[in-house]
Amino acid sequence: MDDATRYAEGMKTRRAVLGETYVDKASSGLTDFNREWQEFITRNAWNDIWNRPGLVRRERSIIVLSIAAALGAWGEFRIHVRGALNNGLSRDEIKEVLMQTSVYAGVPAANHAFKEAASVFAEIEAER
């Protein structure tokens, strides 16, 4: 698969997981400085990893939420809370991911993740 096809397939996945609104906003911020980076992550993360066989998107969301919380990558965590909901996780399942994360990544990380997730849930409610 050539780079253009990998990019196109990655963009389809990115839009399906994160939503049209988020991806349109992120794409509108492209500059000469960040364009290659965005193309790289779209091809490599959103196509080559997210479209691999072996795990379904909902399972990949569980992994991303756990890792983002463990790393304290709150911007990515918030984006992927929405993605996890788009991929079929319920709020209760996200809660269970964070409970599990607390044991392996620490209570402070999970505590903050609960606050971030609740904030995202509130934003979603306000958008309805």
17 confidence band (pLDDT: 50, 70, 90): very high
Average pLDDT in the 72-81 region?
Answer: 97
Contact 23, 14 (CB under 8 A): yes
Measured torsion, CA atoms of residues 70, 71, 76, 80, in degrees rounded to the nearest 10? -20
How far, CA to CA in Å, does 91 sit from each of 18, 97, 114?
A: 16, 10, 11
CATH number for 56-128 (one of 3.30.450.40, 1.20.1290.10, 1.10.3720.10, 3.40.640.10): it is 1.20.1290.10
Domain boundaries, the chain: 1-52, 56-128
128 confidence band (pLDDT: 50, 70, 90): confident
Average pLDDT in the 30-50 region?
Answer: 96
Non-local CB neighbours of 56 within 8 Å, separated by 6+ positions: none
Non-local CB neighbours of 96 within 8 Å, separated by 6+ positions: none
70 confidence band (pLDDT: 50, 70, 90): very high
pLDDT at 24 over 90: yes
Helix runs in 32-106, H state only:
35-41, 57-71, 74-86, 91-105
Average pLDDT in the 86-103 region?
Answer: 98
Of all residues in the chain, the percent with pLDDT exceeding 90 is 93
Comparing CA positions, the residue from 29, 23, 27, 22 lying closest to residue 127 is 22
pLDDT at 101 over 90: yes
Average pLDDT in the 5-28 region?
Answer: 95
